[in-house]
Structure 1
């Protein structure tokens, strides 16, 4: 990123009719040079260089603009975007799936935005498919790029053969769209969404793909709406009332495609002070966390109605593809070299710390191995060290930044599943795990926070379970989980945890429930540590008249019965009954 001296200049980019900050510079000349580079990017309609005065970029006056260049209307040429990889597609249906459409969205971003359509509309609408095919070289260029990547992954074919296969798939997609024109199709706008879906289900013929026909019906409506925000409002309205789970999956496909448009994302996130803040907001939104308070009486007329309903749908787990697209957008921005903040290197570091709290909140990494690799790449930028050595130092310096042992373990074990982790950082990850787990003398050295014993043990058990689920070889898993079990057992014995729980001055039912809580799967894993508590429980269970003693200090008979029932449920959950 550009450093900050006495004066900072901001480079603005005009895309889809909206200005946004894309870079900073320390001098006007440097800013102008950078602006001209930005001007050459696809989709950029204009650039500006302004002095950073703390004023909103939407409230600028002519004297605030030090340099400006706009492209004349019609100058922007539509071409295929660059990509660095492409998934294999073995059959036509792969084009309609998540990874296939994601690649199409990236390749054809300029074309799609210019024509205000989504990838799924182009795939399902005969009219849009014909327009794309008539465009000339776009399809050919896209197929050429993809075939090169795919051929490199296949041993029994070359790029030319792969190109022929892909063109055959394109012909099939076009034929399917043309065939749908010959079939009577309900109009959603006339019949209503649920009614149109029901009509399609009732009229299905042998060999017809129900999902494809529903998506065709959706595409027919959306291609007539040449606003991405309008498309989003329409699809979200349908999703709110949708009562067919399969049709909801089809709506998710279109909504996820719509979310690829920059204008929609800006509208969704609202004004953010910098890229880092925008990414935090996007992560929150992708997890279904509202970005603001919902009005008491929310109506479709409210300006945030669509965003609020979209967030609710994501929170309910009804839009997994949309959620994945938002997380992937965050990942690509994190691993890029664009600055997260407008300030100096220290501010950049602080913004990244805030981002990490959202990306690695506890024992998992949002976005999985690809995100773990992305944050490592970003860390290498922050410490300003490149190459393989830079990546190794970045991974090492990530650990102090994460602080919490469960977060450290989540990062290391998730990174292990990435290409970077498998290839370059494999031995480094092993060394970091050894230092954190094998080299620690006690559990209190591993978890230094002043936590209650139950929370401390639960945190370490979370690491234990994450190791069991990891990509580590089995002998290595046994080594590390065995060490964790030893630490837990020593902590229980040295801290006299069980003695404090099973004190005779406490009512037996309270002691019993506390002991059983100790052997819950989330508290202690099966092993030495949990066996210490299990043995005490077994000894209690063997006592004559144990159940009568258990509830003897509970006066109400109904409460006694409920307590016995809950206690047996807990015992069963912990495996005492087989």
Structure 2
């Protein structure tokens, strides 16, 4: 009687308590698809799809979809690894150092990835540390894990050592809290003029306080990066070319935060792209560390490595990112020594693929990338493969003897 009229659809999302229009559509399926995509985005609490129908001058609104984002599981309430290698920190600078941050990253990895932050940010941002402290027992568990490790390695009493570590943590985070209280008087961080930023910092706190305040201001700047991959882009944007003309201290400070990011397995998977197997991912990383061209085979199912990761590897190759290089080499070593098959689709190819990795790890001079530690990891994988073959044939005793049992 009145005709079909016109129909349109509007997608809305709620973020931080406010509704916003995400888009207008003429097709219902397109609107529903866009709403589902919004629901999966970070920070979205709810989505709606509203159908607008105009008939005979009347506008009718109908909500055809209204969904709430599922509550994510509480991550980070357990430790993500061991305290192996934890240095015996005595000063705040020790706690902020590279070796310490590697262990912090391992212990708190689930929490750090859930919050999309690095150990450097945790140590230099009072709000981020306070949020961790509010998790309850997580911080205490990490401190006691380190104290027990120190007791095993250095023979110190774990109880007093845990109290020492707690005081050290309070000293570091207290400095971050004091800096936050003075934020209006702090120098401005200019990512396009790091020398100028450093001069302003030195005028404010002197040379001794430069690095700590520089990193505090840098961490505030990185808040705009969002994900760890986004923060990596911000860091690399501050490095001119291959970093040859930069002040060494700036390169070292930026490299430290980049190394923190390289310690995130989830971020590394994102940067490596979709790889068909562990072997393909390892080859991609090895080639990037040697600045080799990726495999041009048209049948390759591997995705290209992110340009940001290739640039980090190039900086490492040129000797300008030693901390990042150390983290990437340890990631390679750990994966090669691990138990995950190099290619789940073809278990029989394990030995061939492992030998291929050994060849790929050699540079033009024939030296093995990662040295003796990498060679040991390769030997361990090959030994485990030989043992599995023997056990599959029922020769368990021989397999055990190979393992030194």
**Given the two structures, how large is their TM-score scaled by the length of structure 2?**
0.69
Find the partner of 1:383 among 386, 393, 402.
386
Q: Is the 8 A contact 2:312 2:324 kept in 1?
A: no
Establish whether residue 200 from structure 1 lines up as the match of residue 201 from structure 2: yes
Q: Is the 8 A contact 1:81 1:110 kept in 2?
A: yes
Write out aligned runs for 1:38-49 (5 A).
none
Establish whether residue 371 from structure 1 lines up as the match of residue 374 from structure 2: yes
Q: Distance in 2 between matches of 1:118 and 1:141?
A: 19
The match for 2:273 is: 270
Q: Is the 8 A contact 1:186 1:199 kept in 2?
A: yes
Change in 2 beyond 3 A, CA 1:81/1:389: farther
What secondary structure, in the 3-state scheme, does the structure 1 residue paired with 2:335 have? helix
Shift of 1:310: 3.0
Q: Distance in 1 between matches of 2:295 and 2:349?
A: 25
The match for 2:302 is: none
Write out aligned runs for 1:71-110 (5 A).
73-78=71-76, 79-83=78-82, 85-91=84-90, 92-110=92-110
Write out aligned runs for 1:135-150 (5 A).
135-150=135-150
Structure 2, unpaired ranges of 5+ = 1-68, 297-304
Q: Is the 8 A contact 1:118 1:254 kept in 2?
A: yes
Change in 2 beyond 3 A, CA 1:356/1:224: same
Shift of 1:388: 12
Q: Is the 8 A contact 1:121 1:219 kept in 2?
A: yes
* RMSD after superposition: 3.1
Write out aligned runs for 1:162-561 (5 A).
162-181=161-180, 182=182, 184-189=185-190, 192-205=193-206, 208-240=208-240, 243-289=246-292, 291=294, 305-360=307-362, 364-384=367-387, 393=402
Shift of 1:141: 0.6
What secondary structure, in the 3-state scheme, does the structure 2 residue paired with 1:81 have? coil
Judging by fraction of residues, say which structure has more strand: 2
Shift of 1:93: 2.2
Q: Distance in 2 between matches of 1:379 and 1:292?
A: 24
Q: Distance in 1 between matches of 2:289 and 2:209?
A: 30
Q: Is the 8 A contact 1:249 1:319 kept in 2?
A: yes
Q: Distance in 2 between matches of 1:269 and 1:289?
A: 15
Q: Distance in 1 between matches of 2:225 and 2:164?
A: 33
Shift of 1:76: 4.1
Shift of 1:164: 1.1
Deviations 1:369-397 (A, max 9, x none): 43233222212221126999869847xxx
Change in 2 beyond 3 A, CA 1:352/1:125: same
Q: Distance in 2 between matches of 1:308 and 1:283?
A: 10
Q: Distance in 2 between matches of 1:226 and 1:352?
A: 37
What secondary structure, in the 3-state scheme, does the structure 1 residue paired with 2:99 have? helix
Q: Is the 8 A contact 1:286 1:327 kept in 2?
A: no
Change in 2 beyond 3 A, CA 1:187/1:99: same
Shift of 1:341: 0.7
Change in 2 beyond 3 A, CA 1:373/1:191: closer
Judging by fraction of residues, say which structure has more helix: 1
Q: Is the 8 A contact 2:286 2:361 kept in 1?
A: yes
Change in 2 beyond 3 A, CA 1:164/1:389: farther
What secondary structure, in the 3-state scheme, does the structure 1 residue paired with 2:103 have? helix
Shift of 1:133: 1.8
Change in 2 beyond 3 A, CA 1:306/1:194: farther
Shift of 1:338: 0.8
Q: Distance in 1 between matches of 2:179 and 2:401?
A: 54
Shift of 1:244: 1.6
Change in 2 beyond 3 A, CA 1:291/1:315: farther
Shift of 1:365: 3.5
Q: Distance in 2 between matches of 1:382 and 1:85?
A: 26
Is the radius of gyration larger for structure 1 or structure 2? 1
The match for 2:111 is: 111
Deviations 1:121-141 (A, max 9, x none): 001112212211222111101
What secondary structure, in the 3-state scheme, does the structure 2 residue paired with 1:188 have? coil
Q: Distance in 1 between matches of 2:346 and 2:332?
A: 22
The match for 2:50 is: none
What secondary structure, in the 3-state scheme, does the structure 2 residue paired with 1:217 have? helix
Q: Is the 8 A contact 1:275 1:340 kept in 2?
A: yes
Question: Which structure's relative contact order is higher, taking Cα pairs within 8 Å and 6+ residues apart?
Answer: 2
